[in-house]
Structure 1
């Protein structure tokens, strides 16, 4: 395998790991949506998939988990399911792609098996990215609709984008990029590398044949 393909593999795995960590941080973060009111300027509220928090300007923060799973809205349930599925698929993609790396000698199936594992890991990474982008974009879409709803008076506070949404967009996009890098690395390595002993044997055979020809002449 050439140097370009190896570099793409390593870059793809590093981006894969960083993107998966971004998706994990997005899932556990309570800052999906934020809200601050003019009546209580010293306090702001944060909404996450697992808990809601009250943040004070003096530095205090109090979080409370949701009381019941059945009492959650369908939007939060869907976001939970998709984010957990994204993390599971992303982890599976990394576990599949690692044995297929050229620098890892744990796969005994040959070049084609390694290439198949790397492609599968890249495809799973792209699927994980799509699964991460769907709930993040959907929650942002709902926030935009509620923010510009004319039926709600202007004095009523509205939810706005939190830091977790931006982290989720970055994680989902990078997961897709990581999957594309892994697949591209396999497309760049079209020629199967020959074993070292086989190459040495070919060189020795060529040298011997050359010597015989020289002696004959």
Structure 2
């Protein structure tokens, strides 16, 4: 295909990675990881995130408050905070490294080895960023499911459920992993394009030439 070139693959990988990075960044800071609606008071909705707890009422609207103590947080939230920060940092670094190694950018012009190494590094960073996004979201989802089906809690006690940020986190993590994979595909395509031409007197070429000549005579 005409459009399936190394440059287009690199730009597609950069676009997918940047989209995953923005999605992960939004997921990390919005207080929509878990939601809860009390049956006793249906006009109040509670929202929980990594950094804030919010409550929505029809009279006042949305009111958010940050957690008072980091050490008092559950273990899954503490681990999720660290992993999401690592994800954002590695994802941003992957975008910067990949942009400097793109074909058409003057930074690595005339240095194909350095360009290839930076693209490989960007792919690895994308995978790290994607995994460190998928891991905290999955951990919080697991704890939410376990607490939701906990039989020791009375039925009248409200339970936390999945928020919108959980699904955006899964989407962002998968986009980052896909972006890293596309970077590796672009590297393989570049290696294929830059492979040395085969000498004309190799046995395979001569055998094919004889075969074609014999076919033409017949």
- RMSD of aligned residue pairs (Cα, Å): 1.7
Q: 1:104 to 1:58 in 2, by over 3 A?
A: farther
**For 1:146 and 1:72, how far apart are their aligned partners in 2?**
16
Q: Which residue of 2 aligns with 1:185?
A: 186
**For 1:3 and 1:145, how far apart are their aligned partners in 2?**
46
CA deviation string 1:103-125 (max 9, x = no partner) = 21111461121111111101100
Q: How many residues align?
A: 193
**For 2:59 and 2:15, how far apart are their aligned partners in 1?**
38
**For 1:42 and 1:115, how far apart are their aligned partners in 2?**
57
Per-residue deviation at 1:3? Answer: 5.2
Determine whether 1:77 maps to 2:78: yes
Q: Which residue of 2 aligns with 1:206?
A: none
Task: Give structure 1 stretches of 5+ with no counterpart.
Answer: 194-217
The TM-score, its normalising length taken from structure 1, stands at 0.85
| Bigger Cα displacement from structure 2, 128-137 vs 64-73 | 64-73
Helix, strand or coil at the partner of 1:189 = helix
Alignment of 1:68-217 (within 5 A): 68-108=69-109, 110-190=111-191, 191-192=193-194
| Bigger Cα displacement from structure 2, 20-29 vs 112-121 | 112-121
Task: Give structure 2 stretches of 5+ with no counterpart.
Answer: 196-218
Is this contact kept in 2: 1:111–1:192, CA < 8 A?
Answer: no
